[in-house]
Structure 1
Amino acid sequence: MCLKAVTPINISDGIVLGAKDYLYDSRRQKVYFLNLHQWHMFIYKHMLLKKYESYLANFRDKQSLLEWLRMQGYDIDDVRTVITSEAQATVNLMDNEKKKTLNDINRHIQQPDGSLYVPGSSIKGVFRTAILYTLLQKRQDVKVKYWRQIQEKISSNYFKPYKDLNKLISDLENELLHTLRLLDAGIRSNNAVCSAMRGLQVSDTYASRKMQTAILQKVDGGLDKFDKASPKKLPIFRECMLPEAELFFDVKIEKAVMSTIGISSVDDLLKATHSFFAAVTDLLQQAFGKEYQEVFQGVSAGNMFLGGNTGFLSKTLLAMLAPDKDTAKNTIKVLLDKSFKNHKHLLRDKVIAPRTLKCTNYNGKLMLMGVAEVRKV
C-alpha cells in the first residue's frame, strides 16, 4: 500500500522540544534538530561546558541556542555532525510582540536513526473507525440504541465524559466487531480475541531519512459573529510531513475472519475508509464551505484523516450516531461544554460542534490538517 500526504500530516511521538533543544536559523528559514549525546560531546570537546551550563541556568527570552552558539564563535556548519535532521520553518517561530523566546515544537514520530515513519497502529485505527461507520449504516437499531445511551449519559448529573463515553464506544465495538465465536471455555464476547479486527494486520510504513518536513503553526478556522471566516493562529507548532510525500506499508487481510464484518478484500477496506472520510468532509463543508472554500480545494483526493490536529469529528463516531446533523450538534456541544468549561461551546457552537476547522498555513495557503490518500500499489 502507499500512503500519500494530501495536506500536512503530523503524528507526534510525544516529544516536545523547547527553545533550548533545537537550532533555529530565521535567515535560512530552517530548524536543525540535534543528537543530544553528540551535541554534549561537542560542548565538552570545545571546552564550552561552563558557558553552556551558565546559559541553561540563566536562560532568558532574548537569546536562542543558535545565537548563543554564534557568540561562542561557531555556526551551523561547525556542528553538522551533531545535526540529525532539519525542517523548513517559513513561519516565524518567535513571537516578537509578546515574547522573544522560541516556541515549543511537537516532533513527528521517528525511528532512533532519525528517519520518519507512520505507525501501523495509527493507520489501523483509522480503518477500524471507518469499518464501524460502515457497519452502522446497516444497523439502524444499533445507532438508535447507542445514541439514546449517549443522550442519557450526557444529561446525567454524574456524567464523566472520558470514562462514560469510552465505555459506550467499547460496548459499541464489542457489538459490531466482536463477531468471532470461539470454542474455548471461558472466553467472553467482550474479550479482544473475539474481535474480527484480529484479521487485519497493518505494518508501520517503511521509514524514510530523505523526507522533507516543515514546522507549521496550528490555525483554528472559525466563524465570527457575522458568520464570516475568522482564522486564528495558535502558538502550537508541529513538524509535519508535506503534501505529495509518499510512504509505503503492508496490509494483510485474513478473509475468513474479516468477512464476518463485511471486509473480504483491500477494495472493501478502502471503500469503507472513503465512505467515512466523505461523511466527515461533507459535514465540515456544509458548515464552513462557503467561507473557507480554499481549504477544501483538493481535499477530495484523500480518503482518510490521519494524525494530530485533525479534529473531533474525524476521530469519533458521535456525529454519525445522531439521527440528523442538528441533533448531533446540539448534543456534542453539551458534551464539549461539560468537558471544557472555558471554551463556551454552548454559546459559540452555532453552526457545528466543535466550531472550528483544524488547519495550518503552508505555501501561502490555508489547509486542513491530516488529509491522506491510501491506495494499493
Structure 2
Amino acid sequence: MMSIKKRERKMYELTCIAPVHIGNGELLKQFEYIHEKNRNEEKVYFLDQKKWMSYLMRHQWIDDYAQEILRRRCVLGQWLRNKTHTSNLRPVIREICNSSADVYTTKDSKKHVNDIVRQVKTIDGVPYIPGSSLKGAVRSAILFHCIRQNHPAYQPYWQELKRVMVSVDKRTIGNRSIQRTINRNIQTIVRKMERHTFSKLNLDLDRPNDALESIMRGILISDAMMTEKKRDTIVLEKYDVSKKRGKSIDPHTVALFRECIPVGRRLRFSIIMDTDMTSRIGLTSLDMLWQWMRDYIQFGLEAQQSVFGRQFRAEFKESQLADLLIGGGTGFFSKTIYYALASEREGKEVLASFFDYVLFSKKNRQTRRLEPAHHHLRDDDVLTPRTLKLAYTGGDRWILGLASVKDVTEC
C-alpha cells in the first residue's frame, strides 16, 4: 500500500512543443480512409465503421469492395468516385466518416498518402497520452540516472550485453532462429539490470516478484487528457535525416504516415509518488524526478546535436524547452541507456554490429546472400542509429515528440 504520510501529489500541464504521436496499434491502408487534395488543403477522412458497412450494404457493394481489396489496388476515394459517378465526395464523406485530419508532406515529397498509423484516442474520439506511456518515459529516465550515478555497479551488465551483441558469427546473419535467441538473451540481461535498479522494496515473499518489489509501485501516473476536448489531429509524413560517414546530411521521407496531436495542444495529468518507496534509490520528490527527466532528454539531444546541430540549429534550440520526449519516432532515446553504460565510441560500435548482424538484414539480389540492410558499421559516423526523426508541417519543422511540462497543482 502507498504510504499516506509520505505521499506527494501534483497536477501537471503538458504542452506539445512538437507534434506527438502515440500509436493505438491500428494501421490503415489506402482502402480504409478517404484522401482528398485540392489547392487549398489536403485531408484524410476516417471511416465510421458502422456507418461504412451500412452504406456498403445499402448499395450492395460489399462484394465489389472486397474484390477490389483482394486485387491490392483499391484507393478508396477513387473507388467511391467510380461507383457514385461523381467527383464530389462531400455528401458521402459526411455520411460515412466520423473525423478528419490535415495532411502535411515535405516540400520535395512525391509520395502519395500510404499507410497511416493511428493516434490513440478516447472512446469519443479525443486524442490523449496514456499514463503507461508517461510512466515508461519516467522509468527510462530513472534507469538512466541510476546508471550515470553508479556507473561501476552497472559495468558487469554492459560486459554481458557487449558479449552477446558483438560475438555474432557473421555467417549466421539472417538466421531468424539465432536472432530470436540473441534478442531473448539481451532481454534477460536488461531485466537483470532493471531488477538491480528497481527491486528495492525487499518484501518477504515466497518467490521473487519484480512487479511487487519494484519502487515503480510508488509512482502512479494518470492519463494525460486534453484541457479542451479538441478532436482534430494532423497526419505527417515520416521524415528522417541521416548522416553517413564521409557524406553530407541527407533528409529523406518514408512511405509511412503518422496521425499526431498538433503543436500547442495542452493536456493535464497527475502524478502521485510515495517517497518512502522511491527514496530507496535517492528519489525524494517530484521536482527531483523532473530534473532526472530533463537530464535524460538533454543527454540524448546533445548526442544528436553533435551530428545534426549545425544544420538544424533552430530545432535544437527549441528542444531546450522540453521536459519530455515521448511517443513514436523517439526510438533513439531508448538507445541512450546503452550510451550511458558505455563510452560513446564503444556504444556506437557495439550497437552498429548488433543492428547489422542481428536486427536488420536483407538478401542481396545479385549474390543471393544475406547482408546488413543499412551497413551501420560501415556508414555510421558518430552515432548509431544515425537518424534524427523530424516533423514537418507546412514549412515548420520540429524534433518529433517534444513536450514541456509545468506544475499546475495550485491553479
Same fold (TM over 0.5): yes
1:277 Cα deviation (Å)? 0.4
- Among 25, 33, 37, the alignment partner of 1:26 is 37
Give the fraction of aligned pairs with identical amino acids, expressed as a percent. Answer: 28
Alignment of 1:282-321 (within 5 A): 282-314=302-334, 316-321=336-341
Query: What's the counterpart of residue 193 of structure 2?
Result: 172
Report if the CA contact (8 A) 2:15-2:264 is conserved.
Answer: yes
Report if the CA contact (8 A) 1:205-1:248 is conserved.
Answer: yes
Query: What's the counterpart of residue 197 of structure 1?
Result: 216
Secondary structure class of the residue paired with 1:116:
coil
CA distance in 2, matches of 1:81, 1:2: 36
Report if the CA contact (8 A) 1:161-1:335 is conserved.
Answer: no
Query: What's the counterpart of residue 154 of structure 2?
Result: 143
Match for 1:199: what amino acid?
Answer: G
CA distance in 1, matches of 2:156, 2:110: 53
1:315 Cα deviation (Å)? 5.3
Deviations 1:195-245 (A, max 9, x none): 000000011122564143111011220125543221111101100112111
1:183 Cα deviation (Å)? 2.7
CA distance in 1, matches of 2:335, 2:242: 19
CA distance in 1, matches of 2:242, 2:312: 9
- Among 327, 350, 364, the alignment partner of 2:346 is 327
Query: What's the counterpart of residue 44 of structure 1?
Result: 57
List alignment gaps of at least 5 residues for structure 1.
none
Q: In structure 2, do the counterparts of structure 1 residues 156 and 365 end up closer, same or farther at CA, with 3 Å as the change threshold? A: same
Query: What's the counterpart of residue 48 of structure 2?
Result: 35
Secondary structure class of the residue paired with 1:244:
coil
Please say which of residues 254-263 and 192-201 is displaced more in the overlay: 254-263
Match for 1:364: what amino acid?
Answer: G
Secondary structure class of the residue paired with 2:225:
coil
Query: What's the counterpart of residue 100 of structure 2?
Result: 86
1:90 Cα deviation (Å)? 2.9
Query: What's the counterpart of residue 386 of structure 2?
Result: 355
CA distance in 1, matches of 2:182, 2:231: 39
Please say which of residues 298-307 and 35-44 is displaced more in the overlay: 35-44
CA distance in 2, matches of 1:348, 1:96: 26
Deviations 1:240-288 (A, max 9, x none): 1121111111111112111112222210111110010011101111122
Deviations 1:310-329 (A, max 9, x none): 1233455111111x211211
Query: What's the counterpart of residue 4 of structure 2?
Result: none
Report if the CA contact (8 A) 1:294-1:366 is conserved.
Answer: no
CA distance in 2, matches of 1:375, 1:18: 38
Secondary structure class of the residue paired with 2:320:
helix
CA distance in 2, matches of 1:102, 1:370: 21
Secondary structure class of the residue paired with 1:260:
helix
Query: What's the counterpart of residue 250 of structure 1?
Result: 270
Match for 2:105: what amino acid?
Answer: V
1:7 Cα deviation (Å)? 1.2
Alignment of 1:258-273 (within 5 A): 258-273=278-293
CA distance in 2, matches of 1:221, 1:335: 21
The two structures have a TM-score, normalised by structure 1, of 0.90
Query: What's the counterpart of residue 75 of structure 1?
Result: 89
Deviations 1:43-70 (A, max 9, x none): 334xx223x5324413578763223334
User: Aligned-residue CA RMSD in angstroms?
Assistant: 2.3
- The size of the alignment, in residue pairs, is 366
Q: In structure 2, do the counterparts of structure 1 residues 296 and 227 end up closer, same or farther at CA, with 3 Å as the change threshold? A: farther
CA distance in 2, matches of 1:362, 1:371: 15
CA distance in 2, matches of 1:297, 1:362: 18
Match for 2:202: what amino acid?
Answer: R
CA distance in 2, matches of 1:284, 1:203: 31
1:309 Cα deviation (Å)? 1.2
The two structures have a TM-score, normalised by structure 2, of 0.82
Report if the CA contact (8 A) 1:270-1:375 is conserved.
Answer: no
Secondary structure class of the residue paired with 1:310:
coil
Secondary structure class of the residue paired with 1:360:
strand
Secondary structure class of the residue paired with 2:104:
coil
Match for 2:201: what amino acid?
Answer: L
Secondary structure class of the residue paired with 1:183:
coil
Q: In structure 2, do the counterparts of structure 1 residues 77 and 64 end up closer, same or farther at CA, with 3 Å as the change threshold? A: same
Secondary structure class of the residue paired with 2:283:
coil
